[in-house]
Structures are given as structure tokens and as C-alpha cells.
Amino acid sequence: MNIAEKRGGLRGWLDRRYQLSPLLEFLQHKEVPLGSHWMGWYYLGGVTMFFFIVQVVTGVLLLMYYQPGEATAYESIRFLTTKVPFGWLIRSVHSWSAHLMIISLVLHMFSTMMLKAYRPPREITWVSGFFLFLLTMGFGFSGYLLPWNKLAYFATTVGTNIVRSIPLLGDWLLQVLRGGQDVTINTLYRFFAAHVVILPLGFVAVIALHILLIQRQGMAPPLGAKVAPRGMKFFPSFALRDLLLWLACLMILAALAVFLPYGPGIPGMDWELGQKADPLAPAYPGIKPEWYFLWEYQLLKEFPPHLFGLEGPQVCLFVIGILFAIWAVIPWLDRRAYRDRSSPAFSDLAWAALLFLTYLTLMGWDIGANGAIEGVAAMEKVARVCAWWTLAAGLLIALVRYLRYNHRWFLFSGAALFQAVLHGLLGVSYLLAGTVSLGLAILGIAILNFTGSSPDKRRAN
Amino acid sequence: MRPLLVIASLVQFAVVAQGFAATHPTLPSLLAATDKDGKPIITQEERTYYDGLNENLKDLFNQVVQKQIVTRPEHLGMLLSLQLRPQKMELLLKNNCVLCHSDSEIQTPEDLFSLSPKTNQTPGHMNLKDLVEDIHFQAGLSCAGCHGGDPAADFGHEFVKQWPEKDRTKNRAWVVEFCARCHSDPALMHQFNAALPTDQLAKFKESPHGVLLLVKHDDRAPTCISCHGVHGIRPAKDPQSKVYAQRVPETCGTCHANPKTMAGFTLADGSPLPTTQLAEFKASVHGRALLERADLGAPACNDCHGNHAALPPGVASVSRSCSICHSTNASLFDGSKHKQAFNEHNWAECSKCHGNHAIAKTSDSMLSTKVGGLCGDCHRQFANDHPQCIDTANHFHDTITSMDQARENFIATSEKLAQRGLDVEPIENQLTEITDTLKKSRTYIHSFSQSTFQQAAAPGQEAVKQTGGLVEKARQEYKSRQVGLAVSIAWIGLLMLAVYLKLRQLEK
């Protein structure tokens, strides 16, 4: 007979039925490892979850007024934001929190990548996190259409059109996605169902697994230390720190929602309601997706209409698919981290991915176009300006990594920068520049392996 | 004898036919002809056009070649290069006059229909491209309709001399009568265009142009063809017509903007007739609307001065023609005290304040009673003994400028409030009311009566008051949002402090 059976009160009552003691015991002794890296990275997952909780709460409040329908979707949002007390606040917080959630999720993902927290036994945590990332993109895309305004309508038309490029299934998938040939009110119903039922169900299931795994296995200790040298009690020390940060996030969220109710005024991060969607109106030039889809949008533009006997967008989707697949199985690709050794190549790969995304996103934003968005000259100018920015950022990052963190492995990030230079500054086509850079990186790795200058011998992250 | 004769003539025919076939090109040979470098003379485009023609047209081409009206591949190529629609091509191929007169080998430059008259030194009216677009040509009135002769005859110049042989280019008075043979005949014109008036000549005779031509016999006077052209006459609604609304100013300006042509003509007061009208009109509100914005509702010369007659129908003088469009302003003016005063001074009405050809966009500063303001300047000179008029002008000026200023301010404020996420729909509704009232008030100035003006302006003044209240309300709302935020932040801050203190206590 254990102690719990003797205990009285509510806790004893619950304990006798559900055997909570072992669980509480576990939680009481759970520790967060403290190591060589900044502890702040451990909070990013929690912050992302906080924004998700805000999304659920504000989403439910929006749902109380939102009425999907041809004559009601736009009108109900308009009514909510202009007439309902605090309606404007709910919508503003929901939109801000969505963008901040994506930012913190991406930061969380990249910090996990840099710290190699995906190494065994945490591979499934990484994969589940990757699926959460995809689901979040889905939330963003489906939620965008719901106000049924002009901008959302055309962005959705352009966005769903990409699906058509999928071989064999493309046309069928497009029909499934749109609920017909074109974006109509049927599309809105589908997106609404996806946004408030299908995606949340999936998200809750995956996030439950993600959190369960983290709680069960604990947070990843620093690389090379099987047992953390020092630890911090999860309850209450870490949890209270989490709470502190969440409160700070809430504060920032409230201030942003009041002072910038329609976003920071950056294209792709703007949710002013504007005019109601009109399927008969002509699409206007300069339709851009949300900022987190800009890199895909730009990559699609960089592909020629036909390549290797396939349509350009098909090849592009194929390339994006491969990149995503590589990203998803990184825990199994990174053999060095698998053996709990430093793997500078994969740290550099993460930086290369960031630079790759930065260059495409900046171009998608028409940085440097000064208003002119059409024409070859304008595109070349944009590519040039963006290449300079990417190069400056990349060199600065490399310098800091070299001096501050003693990094010596720069083949992937170097290749990403080289591609930007070839394409933006020397006018080589984007795909050719990418192929050349990738080829050079592979050649470099081959030479490194051949000469045996293994990064093992050097101190790296 | 008779069988012999028949045989003889058959033999003769066969010989002639054989000779014909031997010495004269056929259509296929013309189509396939090459120049001395071996390059085909008929271009690929012309050939494609020919291949796309129906059998009837191909047969017509064959006939004109057989009849030796078209004998050279260059001539055939020129006809094909027109790329005419089948109906027009049929008209052209049945018109031997034009076919013969478009062959540069056998015509002198002044008798040649050319594709580019200016470079070929042929007269401007001998433009083949214009001719095939001519409304008369398309309606079946071809060369013979005016020049006489038989266009179906293989060769015939026995044209009826319809107009004076001598001095017909110097004394052109006959032209108007000539056109009027058809255009003044209602029964005839009804067959072609029932909506076309037939009183042009009657009106023209009464007009200054008509008097100049028919009574004074001045060779500078215009005739029908001066404005409508000769061989390329198009309906007035055709944008390429010389009398299409947007081209009218230039057409009139051909003479009226030319100081040489206009030398010696005077206005009613004896002063020389100016030639600056075209330049003034182009810079005016009407000219810019018509020529730059392509607003066909804006008037061209003829809308005020009339077409064939001196004045548009139902208008007593040119200065009254403004009322055709600006009817409210005109009727308000007619009921005002100014009407009588202007009559006493014998002033043209609208143009006295607004000008005529150079009408500029009106401005509220015209109402100013200070020096330089239209109201003030005029009243000081002509009606200095009416202080109540100055009061009225001041009232107009102040009411309108203050309402306009308020509107500008509200628009700027509304934009700012909208950016802050506040509901500006009620403000925008009031702004629409203010904008409408401003427009109406500016029109009601022409009553020159305070009470009439005030009826129009009152709703706007009320809307300004209402908007002020709405703006204030929105500002309060924004302020309360900020206060709410500050309170929330304070609460969250307190909570954070509590968590922080608890953490410190735990970790001590």
C-alpha cells in the first residue's frame, strides 16, 4: 500500500483512481539542462505555443460573429471590427499573433537545427515539429481567405493555382481545394472548415505528441554532454520563467494590436479589410502572398516555363518537395550529431537555408524596385539590390561565426551567397547559378573528405 | 455567205484570243512574277490575303487582268496590300476608274491614286487608302457620281462636265450647290441615312461662311470640302473624320489659327479677328477635357458656334450657348439681379466672368472682394454704391472656403483615424454630403442671392458640424483604447513582477 492511498482530500481521491503520484513525481524531478549555449533558445517552443493558445482563444471569439457566405463573410468581419465592442481588438490580436507565431516557430526550428537538438533520441520530436510547421502554413493560407476581401480573393486564386502543377493529380487537387474550377464561395466554405476544424484537430494531435515527447524525454542537453552538467527544475523555475515570458509577449501583442491594428504596413503583413472580393473584377498587378510564402512565390518565378520536358512550376514544386523532405529527415542525415559529435556542416546548412530564403524573400518583396515592378530591367535591379543585402548579411554572419563561435565550415552558406552573387550581381540565371553553387559545394565536400581534413579535428559547434 | 462570215469571225477571234494569251500576262503569272533579282514581287502577306479571298473575288481579279486593266504585278500587289474586306474589294474591282487611275505606269502624278500621296508628289486628296474608306464610295456613289462617265466601261472618259470648266478652283461657290444636289434632297438622303438633316445648304447660306462665299465671293471662304475633305469623307462619328469632335478644333484652326488667312476680317466692333482661339481652347477646361481626357461630352468649336449655321439651334447668341450644358447656372443667372445689370451694360453673360475660348478652371478666390478678386474688382468699378452686394460676395466666399477647408481637414483626419483602426464610415458618409453641398453651393452662387445660396449651403454646414462631432467621438474612442492598453499593461506588469518575486523567493 503506498502513501497515496492513505492521503485524503481531492488529491488523494484523484490519486486512488488515476495513480497521479508517479506522474507528479516525474514532473517534480524533471530538469532543464543548462549548458554551453544560451538558455533563451529553450523558450521559443513555449512562446510559439503561447501564440497558438492566443490564436485558439481569439479564433473562438471571432467565430462567434463570423458568418461564412457570399453576402455575409465580408460583412460580418466588417461589422465585427467596426460595431462590436472590442471586435477590432480580437481581429487585430488574431492577425498579429498569427504572424508572431510563425516568426517564433521559424526561430524555434532554426535554433533546434543549430543546437542539433534533433539528434537521438529526439528524431520524432523534430519530425512532429516539422509537421506543426506545415500545419501552421496551412492555417495561414486558409485563414487569409476568410474575410472574403479583394486582396485575399486574388492571393488565394494565385496560391491555389500552384497546385495545378502537381503531376497527374494537379487538376483534381485544385478542384478539391477550390470546390470547383474557380475560387468561389465554395472555396470559402472549404477553407473555413479547414481553418476551424480540420487543421486544429490535426494540430492538437501533433502538438500533443510533440509536448508529450518533450516532457517524457526532457529538453536536449548540449551537444557532447550525455548528462547535463547542471540543471534547472522544470517546476517551478522553468515554468515560471515561461510564464514571465508569455506575459511579456501578451503585453507586446496588446500594444501592437492597439497601435498598429492592421499590421506594420509591410506588404504581405497587412490585414486591412479593404474592399469586398469581386470574382468578376480583373486581378490587379502586384498581387503578393503573405511574407512567409514569398520565397516559394519568387522561386516559382525564377523557373522558366519549360524545363527537362516538364512544366517549370512542376519542376519547381519537385525541388521544393525535395528541400522539404531533406529538412524533415535531417536527424537521420546528420550522422555526426547522431553519434553525439559536433556537426558543423549541418549548422552551416541551416545558415545556408536562411540565406537562401532571405535572398528569395527580399526579391519577392521587390526590394530596390522603387515602385517599378514590371520589366526585365526592374527585375535585374531588384536582384542586384537584394544580392548586395544578402551578401552583406551573409558576410556579417560568417564573420561573427568565425570570430565569436570559432566556426570553420562555410561551404553551404558560401554556396548560397555565391548563388546570390552569380544571379544578382553577374546576371547568371537563378537556376544555373544555383546548380553551379551546389556543384561547387559538393566538390568542396569531396575534397575535404579526400584530404581528410575532417571537422572532427577542429573545435566547432 | 453567212457561214463563211461566221467562220471568218471565229478564226479572227481565235487569232485575237491566241495573241491575247501570248502577249498579255495572266493572273497566275502576275502572282508568281519575280523582279530581276529573282525575288517575288507579290509579298507573302499579299499572297496570303489573295489565297484567303472567296471565289467571286478571285474571279473579279482574273477579269481585271484579262481585260488588261491590271497588267503589272506591282499594280496587283498594291491592290492586294490594301487588305480590304471582301465587300470593299468587290467595289474596288468593279470600279475601272480607280483601277486605271491607281497604275503609276500610265498616270501622271496629279491623276494617280497612291498609297502615300505625299512621297509620290500626287495631291493629298488622291489617297487610295482614304478613298476606299470614303462613305460615298462605300454607299455606292463612286467616281461617276460626281465626275460622270461609266465606271463599268472598259475605257471611257466621256464624263459629263458637271462643274464649270473655267476658274472652278478659284471661284468655288459651285461646290456647295453641287453637294446639295443630293444632300438637300430629303427623299434621296432618306435612303442612306434617315437621321441625316438636309438643311445644311440653307443654314450655310445664312452663316458668315456662306455669306462670305456666296455674296462676297471671297476665295478664302470655306466650302463643304474645306471641312469634310474630298475623296476620304467619313461620317462625323468616325474618329478619323475631319469633323469628329476631337478633330474639329484643328480643322477650324486650319483657317482660324492662320493669321495670313484671317487678315482683314474684323469683329463686330471693328477690331481685327483674333487667331489665338485654337491655342486658347487647347489650354482651356473644355479643350483639355476634349483633347486630353477624350471626354466627348466636352464642347468643340461647333458646339457653341454651330456647324453649318452660325449658331446652334435655339440659342440667341454665342454667349447663351453655355446654357445648353450648364443649364442650372444659366437659369439661376437669368433669375438674378445680374441679368438686368449685364443687359444694361450690353455684356455677354457667362463669358464676362469666365472668358470664352480660354475658360480656366474656376476657383473660389474669384469670389473675393479684395483687390484681384473678380467680384471685388468689378463692383468697385461698376457698382460701388451697393455695399450689400459686397456682403453677399463675402458670405459666398467665406461659406464656401470654410466648408472646403473643413472638408480637406476631415479627409486627412479620416485617413489617420482609419489607419488607427477606427470606424470612419459615418465620417465618410458626412464627407459625401459636404462634397455634394460644395458642388451645389458653387452652382447657386449664380443666383447672386444670399437666401437662395443659403438653401443650398445649409445641409453642408450641418454636415460639417456633425462630422466634427464624429471625429471628436472617434478621437475619444482612440484615447480610451490607449488608456485601456495602459491599464492592461500595468496589470500584466504587476503580474510579471509577482512571478519574478516568486521566482527569486523560490531560488534563494
Q: What would the DSSP string read from start to end of A23-78? A: HHHHHHH-EEEE-SS-GGGGGHHHHHHHHHHHHHHHHHHHHTT---STTTHHHHHH
Classified as helix, coil or strand, B478 is helix
DSSP state of A165: G
Averaged pLDDT for residues A23-51: 87
Cβ distance of B496 and A247 shorter than 8 Å: yes
Q: Look at residue B19 in the predicted model and tell me its pLDDT.
A: 46
Same domain, A132 and A146: yes
Same domain, A386 and A432: yes
Averaged pLDDT for residues B20-26: 64
Cell numbers of A109, please?
526550428
Same domain, A140 and A223: yes
Nearest residue to A314 (alpha-carbon basis) of A159, A166, A158, A160: A166
| Domain of A418, in residue numbers | 338-461
CB nearest B481 (choices: A83, A237, A258): A258
Residue B21 has pLDDT above 60, yes or no: no
Q: Look at residue B138 in the predicted model and tell me its pLDDT.
A: 86
Q: Give the nearest chain B residue to A83 (CA atoms).
A: B423
Neighboring chain A residues of B485 at a CB cutoff of 8 Å: 254-255, 258
Cβ distance of B493 and A81 shorter than 8 Å: no
Long-range contacts, stretch A261-270, CB < 8 angstroms, 24+ apart: A261/A88, A261/A92, A261/B420, A261/B421, A262/A92, A262/B419, A262/B421, A263/A95, A263/A96, A263/A99, A266/A291, A267/A291, A267/A365, A268/A293, A268/A294, A268/A365, A269/A99
CB nearest B496 (choices: A83, A248, A254): A248
Q: Look at residue A288 in the predicted model and tell me its pLDDT.
A: 83
Neighboring chain A residues of B417 at a CB cutoff of 8 Å: none
Averaged pLDDT for residues A429-434: 95
| Inter-residue contact A240 to B502 (CB < 8 Å) | yes
Report if residue A84 sits inside a domain: yes
**pLDDT tier for residue A199 given thresholds of 50, 70 and 90:** very high
| Inter-residue contact B480 to B422 (CB < 8 Å) | no
Neighboring chain A residues of B415 at a CB cutoff of 8 Å: none
Classified as helix, coil or strand, B391 is helix
Q: Look at residue B458 in the predicted model and tell me its pLDDT.
A: 96
**pLDDT tier for residue A9 given thresholds of 50, 70 and 90:** confident
Q: Look at residue A450 in the predicted model and tell me its pLDDT.
A: 86
Each residue of A294-340: pLDDT tens digit? 999 999 999 998 888 888 888 999 999 999 999 999 999 999 988 88
Cβ distance of B499 and A243 shorter than 8 Å: yes
Report if residue A184 sits inside a domain: yes
Residue B148 falls in which region: left (phi positive, over 0), alpha (psi -120 to 50) or beta: left
Cβ distance of B503 and A251 shorter than 8 Å: no
Each residue of A92-133: pLDDT tens digit? 999 999 999 999 999 999 999 999 999 989 999 999 999 999
**pLDDT tier for residue B23 given thresholds of 50, 70 and 90:** low
Cβ distance of A255 and B425 shorter than 8 Å: no
Report if residue A195 sits inside a domain: yes
User: To the nearest whole number, what is the mean pLDDT of chain B?
Assistant: 88
**pLDDT tier for residue B94 given thresholds of 50, 70 and 90:** confident
Interface test with chain A among B414, B429, B492, by most A beta carbons within 10 Å: B492
Q: Look at residue B1 in the predicted model and tell me its pLDDT.
A: 47
Residue B278 has pLDDT above 60, yes or no: yes
What is the number of domains present in chain A? 3
Neighboring chain B residues of A243 at a CB cutoff of 8 Å: 499
Neighboring chain B residues of A255 at a CB cutoff of 8 Å: 485, 489
Averaged pLDDT for residues A183-209: 96
User: How near does any CA of chain A get to the CA of B469, in Å?
Assistant: 18
Cβ distance of A251 and B481 shorter than 8 Å: no
Whose cell is 471626354? That residue is: B295
Same domain, A239 and A343: no
**pLDDT tier for residue A36 given thresholds of 50, 70 and 90:** low
Dist. CA A377–CA B25, nearest whole Å: 55
Neighboring chain A residues of B489 at a CB cutoff of 8 Å: 251, 254-255
Neighboring chain B residues of A247 at a CB cutoff of 8 Å: 492, 495-496, 499
Cβ distance of B421 and A261 shorter than 8 Å: yes
Neighboring chain A residues of B420 at a CB cutoff of 8 Å: 261
Same domain, A207 and A354: no
HEC profile of B255-324: HHCCHHHHCCCECCCCCECCCCHHHHHHHCHHHHHHHHCCCCCCCCHHHHHCCCCCCCCCCCCHHHHHHH
Q: Look at residue A347 in the predicted model and tell me its pLDDT.
A: 93
Neighboring chain B residues of A82 at a CB cutoff of 8 Å: 423, 425
Q: Give the nearest chain B residue to A244 (CA atoms).
A: B496
Whose cell is 435612303? That residue is: B191
Report if residue A120 sits inside a domain: yes
Q: Look at residue A457 in the predicted model and tell me its pLDDT.
A: 43
Each residue of A231-263: pLDDT tens digit? 888 888 899 999 999 999 999 999 999 999 999
Averaged pLDDT for residues B19-32: 73
User: How near does any CA of chain A get to the CA of B269, in Å?
Assistant: 57
Q: Look at residue A456 in the predicted model and tell me its pLDDT.
A: 47
Report if residue A300 sits inside a domain: no
Q: Is A243 on the interface with B (CB under 8 A)?
A: yes
| Inter-chain Cβ pairs, chain A and chain B, closer than 8 A | 49
Same domain, A17 and A48: no
Same domain, A368 and A275: no
Cβ distance of A254 and B492 shorter than 8 Å: yes
| Domain C-terminal end among A240, A256, A279 | A279
Tell me the residues of B at the A interface, defined by beta carbons under 8 Å apart: 419-421, 423, 425, 481-482, 484-485, 488-489, 492-493, 495-496, 499-500, 502-503, 506-507
Cβ distance of A250 and B492 shorter than 8 Å: yes
Averaged pLDDT for residues B374-383: 90
Q: Look at residue B139 in the predicted model and tell me its pLDDT.
A: 85
Least confident of A89-93, B114-118, B337-341: B114-118
Q: Look at residue B157 in the predicted model and tell me its pLDDT.
A: 60
Of B1 and A97, which is predicted with more confidence? A97
Averaged pLDDT for residues A424-441: 95
Residue A138 vs residues A143, A160, A177: alpha-carbon distances, Å: 8, 12, 12
Report if residue A307 sits inside a domain: no
Neighboring chain A residues of B499 at a CB cutoff of 8 Å: 240, 243-244, 247
Report if residue A301 sits inside a domain: no
Same domain, A270 and A386: no
User: How near does any CA of chain B get to the CA of A93, in Å?
Assistant: 12
CATH number at residue A195: 1.20.810.10
Same domain, A95 and A187: yes
Same domain, A360 and A460: yes
Report if residue A285 sits inside a domain: no
Of B220 and A66, which is predicted with more confidence? A66
Averaged pLDDT for residues A423-440: 95
- ipTM of this complex prediction, to 2 decimal places: 0.87
**pLDDT tier for residue A220 given thresholds of 50, 70 and 90:** confident
User: How near does any CA of chain B get to the CA of A246, in Å?
Assistant: 9
Same domain, A166 and A268: yes
Same domain, A265 and A377: no
Averaged pLDDT for residues A357-364: 95
